[in-house]
Amino acid sequence: MNLDELQAEVEKLLALLKDRQPGLMTWNMFLNERLEAVQKMIESAGVSSR
Protein backbone atom coordinates (compact mmCIF):
# COMPACT_ATOMS: atom_id res chain seq x y z
CA MET A 1 0.00 0.00 0.00
CA ASN A 2 1.27 3.43 -0.91
CA LEU A 3 0.87 5.66 2.14
CA ASP A 4 0.96 8.83 0.03
CA GLU A 5 -2.04 7.61 -2.01
CA LEU A 6 -3.87 6.60 1.16
CA GLN A 7 -3.19 10.00 2.70
CA ALA A 8 -4.52 11.74 -0.43
CA GLU A 9 -7.73 9.70 -0.35
CA VAL A 10 -8.22 10.30 3.38
CA GLU A 11 -7.68 14.04 2.87
CA LYS A 12 -10.39 14.05 0.17
CA LEU A 13 -12.69 12.17 2.54
CA LEU A 14 -11.99 14.62 5.36
CA ALA A 15 -12.69 17.58 3.07
CA LEU A 16 -16.09 16.11 2.23
CA LEU A 17 -16.88 15.48 5.88
CA LYS A 18 -15.79 19.00 6.80
CA ASP A 19 -18.25 20.45 4.26
CA ARG A 20 -21.19 18.20 5.10
CA GLN A 21 -24.13 18.32 2.71
CA PRO A 22 -25.79 14.94 3.30
CA GLY A 23 -28.99 16.08 1.59
CA LEU A 24 -27.25 16.42 -1.77
CA MET A 25 -27.12 13.32 -3.94
CA THR A 26 -23.74 14.31 -5.44
CA TRP A 27 -22.24 14.76 -1.98
CA ASN A 28 -23.42 11.28 -1.03
CA MET A 29 -21.99 9.82 -4.25
CA PHE A 30 -18.61 11.49 -3.69
CA LEU A 31 -18.55 10.33 -0.06
CA ASN A 32 -19.32 6.78 -1.14
CA GLU A 33 -16.56 6.89 -3.79
CA ARG A 34 -14.00 8.12 -1.27
CA LEU A 35 -15.00 5.51 1.32
CA GLU A 36 -14.76 2.74 -1.28
CA ALA A 37 -11.32 3.95 -2.42
CA VAL A 38 -10.00 4.00 1.15
CA GLN A 39 -11.52 0.58 1.87
CA LYS A 40 -9.89 -0.93 -1.24
CA MET A 41 -6.51 0.46 -0.21
CA ILE A 42 -6.88 -0.98 3.27
CA GLU A 43 -7.99 -4.35 1.91
CA SER A 44 -5.05 -4.43 -0.50
CA ALA A 45 -2.77 -4.04 2.50
CA GLY A 46 -4.29 -7.19 3.97
CA VAL A 47 -6.08 -5.41 6.79
CA SER A 48 -9.75 -6.15 7.29
CA SER A 49 -11.89 -3.04 7.75
CA ARG A 50 -14.77 -5.02 9.26
As a whole number of Å, the CA-based R_g of the chain is 12
**Can you state the angle between helices 3-18 and 25-44, rounded to 10 degrees?**
160
What pLDDT does 47 receive?
Answer: 65
Q: Which residues contact 29 (CB under 8 A, 6 or more apart)?
A: none
5 close to 42: Cβ distance less than 8 angstroms: no
CA distance 47 to 41: 9
What pLDDT does 31 receive?
Answer: 93
Kindly report the pTM of this predicted structure.
Answer: 0.76
pLDDT in tens, the chain (50 residues): 688 998 999 999 999 999 999 899 999 999 999 999 999 998 888 765 55
